[in-house]
Structure 1
Amino acid sequence: MRILIADDHGLVREAIAALLKVESEAEVDTVGSLPEAIDQVKGTGTYDLVLLDYNMPGMNGLDGLTEMRDVNEERPVAILSGTTTRVLAEEAIAAGASGFVPKTLASKSMVAAVRFMVEGEVYAPFDFMQQKTDPGSSLLTNRELDVLNGICRGQSNKEIARDYGLHEATVKLHAKTLCRKLNARNRTHAAMIARDRNLV
């Protein structure tokens, strides 16, 4: 089985790679960004599983997941993350991820999760998915917090999109989602809630 690990933290990706090579006798390649991961797949062919760090360069939130799924020809692509919120996990899986793998996962669980996803199943830690969502910033993804920051600065969707290298439609979607999560009536109300809760 061929696995690609894309993570901008060298120690993390090498530790996971070493674990999988020993425990599952997998052929494992590692890269440090989404563009490198895409080049790797295009250059050597599709992988049985691609693990993408949610916060590494080039990801743009879950946009990178969609891009990699296309390049890997719809074969399993999962999100690795140190930002472990249930909301983010649910959004990743809804967007087509084969799994959401916290970097804090125990070694045996990591190996089991990888095998599970290679077989075509969707993985998310059961105890983690049962957590109640806390109010505040844990409710929002990192990208939604970026958009919220822009809204609080009085920027338009177009300006926020330019600052963060996103499509304007993506910003509009994030703004709609974060307003729903914060129970905000509109952008101005979202900005008021954000300041009250010290989210930005």
Structure 2
Amino acid sequence: MIRLLIADDQALVRGALAALLGLEPDLEVVAEVGRGDEVLAAVAQHRPDVAILDVEMPGLDGIAAAAAVRDAAPECRVLMVTTFGRPGYLRRAMLAGAAGFVVKDTPARQLADAVRRVASGLRVVDPVLAAESLTAGDSPLTERETDVLRAAAGGATIAGIARELFLSEGTVRNYLSNAMGKTGANTRAEAARIAEENGWLI
């Protein structure tokens, strides 16, 4: 039997995944949690073979939870199952040690197969997302533009970014303007979102 942990903040989705995967003769759902910061304790208590994690969860996002699982329980493989099929998320998840990444509208049979493949030591990635990730390419942003945009993504003001990065406010504005131009965005928030979706703020 392949033992599974399911982590998703939406109870309906979590229950549906557990019910669908529980129908498979070789899969057993041993734990369900609704928060990212509950994943590690559940892994330690229930010792699943595969942890199925959503990307966006309260407490700790799924990608950070995947990294925590990799460090604390490397024998537990991680499969990200998410609504957000974005190249940036895929790239970040793989860097965090996830063995697979599929979207939630994957048919039940394919999802069960993905679980089996991940459990056996293989990597599984949604093919459309993999293609998008390759075409997204390398970041056009300089290291400093990335730093400034990352700080802006956290909601920091121009003055706050300047203090955090030891730059003048004018320099911060210039970097933000450059980043907006390179991403084709109209606002710094939009530039940060585009960069994050493409995996450029890692």
CA contact (8 A) 2:5 2:52 kept: yes
CA contact (8 A) 1:49 1:78 kept: yes
The equivalent residue for 1:199 is 190
CA contact (8 A) 1:81 1:102 kept: yes
CA contact (8 A) 2:79 2:115 kept: no
Deviation at 1:117, TM superposition (A): 0.5
The verdict on how the C-alpha distance between 1:130 and 1:156 changes in structure 2, with shifts beyond 3 A counting, is: same
The equivalent residue for 2:28 is 27
**Structure 2 unaligned runs (5+)?**
137-147, 166-173, 192-202
**Structure 1 unaligned runs (5+)?**
135-143, 160-167, 169-184
TM-score by length of 2: 0.69
TM-score by length of 1: 0.69
1:186 aligned onto 2:171: no
Mapping for residues 61-72 of structure 1, pairs under 5 Å:
62-72=63-73
The equivalent residue for 1:50 is 51
The equivalent residue for 1:59 is 60
CA contact (8 A) 1:99 1:123 kept: yes
The verdict on how the C-alpha distance between 1:9 and 1:151 changes in structure 2, with shifts beyond 3 A counting, is: closer
CA contact (8 A) 1:6 1:37 kept: yes
CA contact (8 A) 2:8 2:53 kept: yes
**Helix, strand or coil at the partner of 1:62:** helix
Distance (Å, rounded) in 1 between the aligned partners of 2:84 and 2:189:
19
CA contact (8 A) 1:47 1:72 kept: no
The equivalent residue for 1:148 is 152
Aligned sequence identity (%):
31
**Helix, strand or coil at the partner of 1:64:** helix
Mapping for residues 25-174 of structure 1, pairs under 5 Å:
25-28=26-29, 29-44=31-46, 46-60=47-61, 62-131=63-132, 147-150=151-154, 153-154=157-158, 155-156=160-161
Deviation at 1:36, TM superposition (A): 1.9
CA contact (8 A) 2:152 2:161 kept: no
Which one has the largest radius of gyration? Answer: 2
Distance (Å, rounded) in 1 between the aligned partners of 2:75 and 2:42:
16
CA RMSD between the two structures? 3.2
The verdict on how the C-alpha distance between 1:37 and 1:50 changes in structure 2, with shifts beyond 3 A counting, is: same
The equivalent residue for 1:182 is none
**Helix, strand or coil at the partner of 1:3:** strand
Residue deviations 1:145-187 (CA, integer Å, cap 9, x gap): 874334673233987xxxxxxxx9xxxxxxxxxxxxxxxx834
